[in-house]
Amino acid sequence: MELDDALRTYVAESRDLLQEMEDALLRIEQEEDKDELINAIFRAAHTIKGSAGLFGLDDIVAFTHGAESLLDKFRDGELTMTEEMVALFLACGDHITDLIDHVEMGGEKLDDEVLAKGVELSNQLKQAGAAIMVTTVEESLQQPHESDLEQVISGSSSANENWHISLRFGSDSLRDGMDPLSFLRYLGTIGEITNVSVLDDRLPAVEEMDPESCYLGFEINFKSNVDKQTIESVFDFVRHDSFIRILSPRSCISNYIDLIQELPEEDMYIGEILVSCGSLTQTELDKALAMQEELKQQADIQLLGSIVVKEGMTSQPVLDAAVEKQTKVRDNKVRENQSVRVDADKLDHLINLVGELVIAGAGTQLNATVTGDSTLIESVSTLARLVEEVRDSALRLRMVQIGSTFSRFQRVVRDVSKELKKEIDLVITGAETELDKTVVEKIGDPLMHLVRNSIDHGIEAPDVRVNSGKQSNGTVCLNAYHDSGSIVIEVTDDGGGLDRDRILSKAIEKGLVNPDHSLDDAEIYNLIFEPGFSTVDQVSNLSGRGVGMDVVKRNITALRGTVDVDSSPGEGTVFRVRMPLTLAIIDGFLVGVDKSSFVVPLDTVLECVELSEANRTITTDQHYINLRGEVLPFIRLREMFEIGVKPPRRENVVVVHCGGVKAGLVVDKLMGEFQTVIKPLGNIFCHVNGVGGSTILGNGEVALILDVPGLVQQASQNERQVASTAA
């Protein structure tokens, strides 16, 4: 792999890790058991730092090391994670993001602003670490700990910081020429024996003693910088018939855990991991494996980890770290085998080729039908089925869950609510809902503005909420679900709702509405999407400048989507965004008006009915029919697109639905299902009402793709206007 490719991969993976780090930080305040989240945050920082070192990214290594060092203190339980610490680590994550962005842009020198921010955050990390040390010292001076008392009783104030060696010499050690004291003397050459307790519990009565047998044992507190293997090698000559247990000092346990986490991402057995970090010697591993096999033969199945802990060969925290490392590596291996990173441009190119294949297939099918060759028609039918499967598979490659986009708003809600001194919870549902990656990327900013708007305008201050009988903390909900071939995203708050009269008066004041016009609630609420509209009198960092909501609507409309708002005074507001699942290829229903062709998205089609002669006579001056006792408003595409030709004797109504509302589209011909490759309209046509795009038919002609949500809304408005006029 070229260096550029490797660096690009590092940037992508680091961003994923930073997102995981931010998610864990945002959850940590609500979780009772914070250990796993702290470990996840530490692992993310550690991986980013370690990988940065491979590329010589010294700025990232230096800064992340400071954050990692402080996180290590949290892992050791020296301090609990507070709201201030969460804010500090979130700021550190933002700074690491800036550093990675700088790497991606190929910059050689950091901006002064970024450097200053890094220095400030590094100082805060050092101050936080120093505060932890001061607090620990003060607490130690104020009251003795139980462990300290135990150490004093045992005769050593630093017992837990030294090696502990338990020796039980075999009864034949003296006969074999081994002097127990010689081993103690040799230990003194590689370290310092701080305490020795002689064990004489095996001594028999004097008359039963054998002068050539060894009955003694020792408990030794040993201070040394050598590793466990070196200490174990001291007793090589008596290992076969003696009991030897070497317990690591407390300081070594944290070192072992660090070494385990720094091991390469290779799939290893638990025993191999423990030997690699030095917590377990090869001799101990062989002994433990032999014990495991012996127990197995006795029908007593035990895990190796439980055996080495039970026998005192290693400690439970070290074993837990080894199990976690093994699980993480294997999970990563599974994910690597299940997924492959593909450049987005390559994926887009594939989708475009599939689109062209669909168009070419439609042309082939049309030609086969014209020739009337049954064998050719059958072959083309098989080809069309395969093309459809290829199309569906290619589109699924671009489908991603919207949950990752929703998760970004955890940080927004936290930061903005604290800035406004409000108490707000974010509730996410439907995070598993999938839609096109392109739509996900482009919908993020409009949703961001809607969420901030709900926090700023929707949720009241805590005292106001309490006075109105609500809980002090407000709630913003994000929900996503599929409906009629579209995805619906709702941003809901339980605030005070929109002020209908205030919106109307502001709209009249700005000349957006004629005072004589009668508007229903939905039309008044939708005025907030007009350019320059704002009901806020005082400009703040978040609102009041009259820009934002109109941009939201414009961006959503550009994605062939719609947005509307519903509100209840005192109860809250719902912003409802409806988007197409994909911007590339859809299943369509082809209809015709005279020589023009139109495509209706198939997921919005309910049924097709014939417009009877009686209905044609009745509907000359009205735009609705009786559909089995139900009033169905409709639009004549002939009139809408000004196709000035006399309609045929037989017309049809395509019944469509959107958002729970039905409407009819009156057309001349029903031409059947059609795989539709969506082509964007030119800028000159992008504002044409009722049209959401175009496509190319098999014969090379262009057909317009109808904007069903817009047409349904227009039909409903026409019906209301007729009813209002009649009243």
Burial class (CB in 10 A: 0-12, 13-18, 19+), 289: middle
Of the residues 111, 142, 173, the one at which a domain ends: 142
Lowest mean pLDDT among 264-268, 570-574, 608-612: 264-268
How many other CB atoms are found less than 10 A from the CB of residue 119?
A: 11
Coil, strand, or helix at residue 563? strand
Q: Are residues 66 and 194 in the same domain?
A: no
Q: Are residues 129 and 181 in the same domain?
A: no
Q: Are residues 623 and 562 in the same domain?
A: no
Q: Are residues 122 and 158 in the same domain?
A: no
At CB < 8 A and 24+ separation, what contacts does 251-259 make? 251/161, 252/279, 253/315, 253/317, 253/318, 254/76, 256/314, 256/318, 256/321, 257/317, 257/318, 257/321
Q: Are residues 535 and 610 in the same domain?
A: no
pLDDT digits (tens, 9 = 90+) for 544-600: 434 468 888 888 877 778 888 999 888 899 999 988 877 677 888 999 998 899 999
Per-residue model confidence (pLDDT) at position 160: 57
User: Does 121 map to a domain?
Assistant: yes
Of the residues 553, 580, 607, the one at which a domain ends: 580
Q: Are residues 471 and 515 in the same domain?
A: yes
Domain that holds residue 506: 403-580
Contact 459, 422 (CB under 8 A): yes
Question: Is a pLDDT exceeding 70 seen at residue 713?
Answer: yes
Q: Are residues 213 and 98 in the same domain?
A: no
Question: Is a pLDDT exceeding 90 seen at residue 493?
Answer: yes
Bridge partners (DSSP) of residue 489 are: 480, 577
- 300 token code pair: 């007593």
User: Does 319 map to a domain?
Assistant: yes
User: Does 176 map to a domain?
Assistant: yes
Dihedral-angle region of residue 700 (phi above 0 means left; psi in -120 to 50 means alpha; beta otherwise): left
Of the residues 372, 398, 424, the one at which a domain ends: 398
Report residue 702's pLDDT band, with 50, 70 and 90 as the boundaries: confident
Q: Which of 706, 720, 712 shows the shortest CA–CA distance to 664?
A: 712
Question: Is a pLDDT exceeding 50 seen at residue 676?
Answer: yes
Coil, strand, or helix at residue 483? strand
Q: Which of 636, 704, 690, 703 shows the shortest CA–CA distance to 667?
A: 636
Query: What does pTM read for this prediction?
Result: 0.60
User: Does 337 map to a domain?
Assistant: no
User: Does 134 map to a domain?
Assistant: yes
Q: Are residues 313 and 218 in the same domain?
A: yes
Per-residue model confidence (pLDDT) at position 409: 86
- 373 token code pair: 């060759």
CATH of residue 534: 3.30.565.10
User: Does 147 map to a domain?
Assistant: no
Per-residue model confidence (pLDDT) at position 618: 63
Q: Are residues 183 and 318 in the same domain?
A: yes
Question: How many domains in the chain?
Answer: 5
Distance CA 636, CA 654 (A): 11
Q: What mean pLDDT do residues 231-245 have?
A: 80
Bridge partners (DSSP) of residue 675 are: 587
Q: Are residues 469 and 389 in the same domain?
A: no
Q: What mean pLDDT do residues 303-314 have?
A: 80
Contact 405, 443 (CB under 8 A): yes
CATH of residue 696: 2.30.30.40
Q: Are residues 291 and 309 in the same domain?
A: yes
Q: Are residues 682 and 626 in the same domain?
A: yes
Question: Is a pLDDT exceeding 70 seen at residue 378?
Answer: yes
Hey, which of 78-92, 244-258, 605-619 has the most confident mean pLDDT?
A: 78-92
- C-alpha gyration radius of the chain: 37
User: Does 232 map to a domain?
Assistant: yes
Per-residue model confidence (pLDDT) at position 590: 93
CATH of residue 117: 1.20.120.160
Q: What is the dihedral of CA 260, 265, 268, 273, to 10 degrees?
A: -10
Distance CA 365, CA 384 (A): 8
* CA torsion through residues 185, 190, 192, 196, sign: negative
Report residue 492's pLDDT band, with 50, 70 and 90 as the boundaries: very high
User: Does 318 map to a domain?
Assistant: yes
